[in-house]
Chain A
Amino acid sequence: MGVEFVQFSLTPILIGVLAAVACALPGNFLILRRQALIGDAISHVVLPGIVVAFLITGTVAAIPMLLGAGAAALVAVVLIEAIRRLGGIEPGAAMGVVFTALFAGGVLLLEQSDTSGVHLDVEHALMGNLETLIWLRAEGWSSLIDPVALAGLPPELPRMGFVAGSIAVLTWVFWRPLKLSTFDEGFAQAIGLPVSAIGLGLVVTAAVAAVAAFDAVGSIIVIAMFICPPAAARLMTDSLSAQVWWSVFFAILSAIAGYVLAGYGPIWLGFSNSVSAAGMIATISGAILGLACLFGPRRARVGVSAGA
């Protein structure tokens, strides 16, 4: 745990943890609202947004990428609503149509445009580039209090930290409205809560988390973290606040264990290459969900009818 760890592993792990937590927090409410696929949809539709932003600006700088991704996410939300309302189609199907079509469009755009000079490709979109978010300026743990070294941090870290922190604060501030409007929208509205604004705010927050995390870690982690930690957490407890804490714990556990296993697991097994950290983090979160399904104390609850 010396200089090498700080240089090559600390920042990717932290970014992975922050991305996982930023997605898992809104994921709790999305799952309870039967909207879990929104995260999936958003993380797919940001691809064409990013490609278009690159085609317009010619760079892969963060700001145009994030703006493009945000615009694409908005377009997708509007399209999903339009298809649902005008076509009278259930939300899951509308999301499925929109996100596959937009993602496919993004892939086509990417293939047709000249992005050979930059690291913008389908693989990057899926896996992100977690392993490259290293901190070469670091000279050990003491660098954490060294302003010069801190200035050399990968910009994804403070950005992801800001997003994750903001989402945590929003979740805390709007806890009661979120909880009540998720459980009983009619009652929430009857006591004067603006339920449409709350629902929209949740989706926008999820979109911000997805876009920021997509930039740092790719869409595989985003999709997994919106669903796996909250779903596993739901099987551990019958209290919403405990569920949210469990989901944060599972998100952090997945990010750390996934990164370590991806980097060192194959070497421990005698192979010479490491595997994709994003892929391993998502796999670990899936394994946690599997274990929660088998052994979670509240697993019997799902599908049990209340009776009359």
Chain B
Amino acid sequence: MSNNNAVAAAAFAELQETARESWERLREKPLILIGAATCGRAAGALSLLEEVKNEINRLQLDANIIEVGCMGHCYAEPVMVIYNAGFPAICYGYVKEGVGARIVRDFLTEGDPGIEFALAALEPNDLFPTFADFPRGVHENKIVLEQCGFIDPQNIDHYIATGGYAALVKALEMSPEAIIETIKSSGLRGRGGAGFPTGVKWETCRNAPGTPKYVICNADEGDPGAFMDRTILESNPHLMVEGLAIAARAVGAEQGYVYIRAEYPLAVERVTLAVQQAREKGLLGNSILGTGFNFDIEIFQGSGAFVCGEETALIASMEGKPGIPRHRPPFPAVSGLWGKPTIINNVKTLSYVPHIMKNGAEWFKSIGSEKNPGTAIFALAGKVINTGLAEVPMSTTLNELIFDVGSGIAGGKKFKAVQIGGPSGGCLPETALDTPIDFDSLTGAGAMMGSGGMVVLDEDDCMVEIARFFLDFTQKESCGKCTFCRLGTKHMLDVLERITRGQGRPGDIDLLQELAAKVKAGSLCSLGKTAPNPVLSTIKYFRDEYEAHINEGRCPSLMCKDLIAYYILPDKCERSCDACVGSCPVEAIHDNEDRIKVIDQKKCVKCDSCMVACPPQYKAVVKLSPPHLVQEKEKEYREGKKQWQKK
């Protein structure tokens, strides 16, 4: 073995040498990074890339441009970073059409860094603040996301040059038992949602009889509102590949799979390339780095079924069947893919592994809290200002995450709730904002860590509607196998639908709670067991909203379409402005005898266009709930007019 180790170390040193050379060569010239993960692309990153390339060609500048992943500042997409000698590296945000070319031109030809477009500098300097100088930077502690957005995900040399695959080499020198011991004592808990100790899972699998054994990376990120795994795989796929190889070494597997949902085509592409490059470098395949350890990875594309995030359903799907969970035990670690011992770990879980191997269990335990060591990675979305990815130590509070990292609520609106954990999680109100973010505290508060989706809701968001939305989701995604999930969620959804339509009945809240308790207790898999959480948590914290819907036919947040009507305030309407009329897709707006715009309620499809179109200085279009208030308002107007005419 020791001889093998020397061979591996020598082979790896050579790889590192080549990688470092190519990495350093990049920085010899000005270097431009463009964030082109899916989120960046949706904001126009690819045309920015084109624009910057053209500008550089036009000016015949000598600079390197690389496409990188996402560094988490999704709110400011497209994002660009420039390293220019003599200046600190600067990160630019909201780089709209024309701006990219201008920044590059000014900076590279005239030495004007264009700080009016800069978000922050990346290294301390006396010119410009860094991310660490903002409230966000105080809380952020990037481990898994560290390299995301700073290296080319399509170039394995970048990963190796920044320390990649050294942990695998270290693991190859260690005994499998020692690797498991390290992971166990680090206290790493599975980031897929339930928080099961990773080391224990590995140990069970290692000790289970039967060969071959399999390791699977679960990248079937199906929670609506979560995009951490996508970002990690698009921005730094090698981190997961390395983690999976270490897991394989620990449990004694020679074959690994990455199960990625087909809805993430870019992630599929990046991981496929990463595996191929690792194979070419001898970091995957037969006798890795000459050690005699064989391990290879195949990609399996999920076909779109949320339930496949459940381990046994994922396995069924890989075996060519519908993704239908089975009773556990036996757990997959004992009897998994093709009946063989199999471990399934989430992308984030595996991404911590190389860092723990490199820095040790003690280091990992020093971050976060005792029972929840390490960091939490959250996808911040919804009504928060700084949407994007954030990595903070476990036990950071919700308040800090939403108001410091996320900079609070957009548009000066009032915070109402935060939805955590997707369809399995719950909505927590303002009073719960001091809850520390970790597996146990969130579950205690009625939500769930889930896989890390966090959608912030403001005063315009109806809590009954959000409960209905999630139940609609789980009901559609239920595999339909077991009675409670198939029929229990269907009945619950029917009740919620009638409430949001204004047809709620007295007793509906009790019925929902009863059904929820039974579905939780009786369902076969965790999809069913957690499906009622969004309903239970909204009833717990926002019962008054349910009651307003049921008892008054009123949606307090003015969101439920059947319970609102659009109305144009006569005293605010400017009369000669036709913005709303032009925006209406169904010609429901016309002038009344006073040339004030009036909405024909029979024609109105409640598409919101007029409200958006009405110029902000008038703000004449409002929503009313219950909808019959419109008639009252119209009557008021007519009577007011009569009075005025009499005078």
> Are A and B part of the same complex?
no
List the interface of chain A (C-beta within 8 A of B): none
Interfacial residues, chain B to chain A (CB-CB below 8 A)? none
